[in-house]
Amino acid sequence: MMIRCSRTTISIASTTLLKLRRSCFSSSSSCKIVEVGPRDGLQNESKMIVSTANKVKLIHLLTKAGCSTIEVGAFVSATWVPQMADSMEVLEAIGPPPLLPQVSYSCLVPNVRGMALAASNPHCTEVAIFASASESFSQKNINCSIAKSMERFEPVMDLAAEKAMPVRGYVSCVVGCPYEGAVDIKKVCQVSEQLLEMGCYEVSLGDTIGVGTPNQIKDLLQALQPLIPADKLAVHFHDTYGQALANILVALEQDVRTIDSSVAGLGGCPYAKGASGNVATEDVVYMLHGMGMETNIDLDALVDAGSFISNVLGKESDSKVARAMLAKRI
C-alpha cells in the first residue's frame, strides 16, 4: 500500500519510520535538533580535510550525546568537495544507527547517482536534496536553473520511494543571496511547496549567508504558514551576523520545532570572508534547555564532542557555551 504524492510515492514503511523518529518531539515543549556538523560543517572547513577515523569518532560522540538525526556525509563531486570524498567509507565505519533511542544517519545527494550510492549502504537511513530560492545561487552552486534542479530530483525521489528512504529538502538563500541580494519570499514559498509536493517529508529553510534578522524570519514564516504546516518546516541559520539564536527564537514562536545546527559552530560561510558559519549546537541546546524545552541531548557530552573535533581542527570552538563550560572544568 502506498501514499501517492503529486510527483512520486512514499511508502507507508517510510512514513511510519518518520513517525517513530518524531515521537520524542511531538509536544510543544520539545524540539528536534538536526546535527549537520559532520557534513555541512566539515564540508566548509577548508583548511584541512578531517580523516575518516576522526569523522567516525565525531559521529559516535554525537550519537552518544543524544543527537537523533546526524548528517554524516554527502555523495557529491570529490573534485569540488574533497572533504566529503570518503562518505561511503564513513558510512561503512560508523555502523548501523541505534534503534533505542531511534537515531537517523543522513546523507546529502545532488542527483540519482548519489541517491543510488546512499541507498546501497544500510547505515544511511535517510537522504537530503537541496534547491535554491535564488536563481543566481543555483547557477553558481550547481550549474543549473532552479527549474532544472527540480527536474534532476525526480529520479532521486523515485528511487527513494522504491527504497522506502525518507527524503528531506533544503532551500538555500531564503533571506539573502551573495549574488542577488534580497530574495523574494514568494520564491521561497514556491520552491518549498515544490519540494514537499515531490515527496520530501520536511523542508529546511536555510539562511545561507546569515543575513536574516528576526523580523525577516517572522515575515517569511508567516508567509509560509497558510501553505505549509509548521511541523513540516525546519530552520537552518548561519550566524554570520550574530542573528542565529534570535532568529531561532522567532521560529519557535511560529511553532517550528526542528532546528539544524552544527557542533562547535563548524563550517565557515564561503560567501562572506571571515564570517562564522552554522549556529553552534551547544548554544542552541543551552538556550532551549534554559527555556524549559526538551531536546534529549546531554549538553556536557555534546561539549565533549565539540571539543574533540575542535582539537582535531586545531582551533577553538566557535560555541560560546562550550567555551564557558570548558573554562569551568579547568
The contacts of residue 162 (CB under 8 Å, 6+ apart) are none
How far apart CA 190 and CA 170 sit, in angstroms, is: 13
Is the previous residue joined to 101 through a cis bond, with omega within 30 degrees of 0? yes
How far apart CA 31 and CA 34 sit, in angstroms, is: 10
The contacts of residue 207 (CB under 8 Å, 6+ apart) are 173, 174, 175, 176, 217, 235, 236, 237, 238, 244, 247
Q: Kindly name the residue from 173, 177, 189, 269 that is annotated as catalytic.
A: 269
DSSP state of 175: S
- Is residue 24 annotated as part of the catalytic site, yes or no? no
* Beta partners for residue 258, in sequence order: 32
How far apart CA 285 and CA 299 sit, in angstroms, is: 7
- Cβ burial of 99 (10 Å; 0-12, 13-18, 19+) is exposed
Exposure on the CB side of residue 254, measured as CA atoms within 13 A: 29
Contact in structure between 111 and 158 (CB atoms under 8 Å): no
> Strands, DSSP E only, in the chain?
2-4, 9-11, 32-35, 69-74, 104-108, 126-132, 167-172, 176-177, 181-182, 202-207, 233-237, 258-261
Q: Which residues are known to be catalytic? A: 269
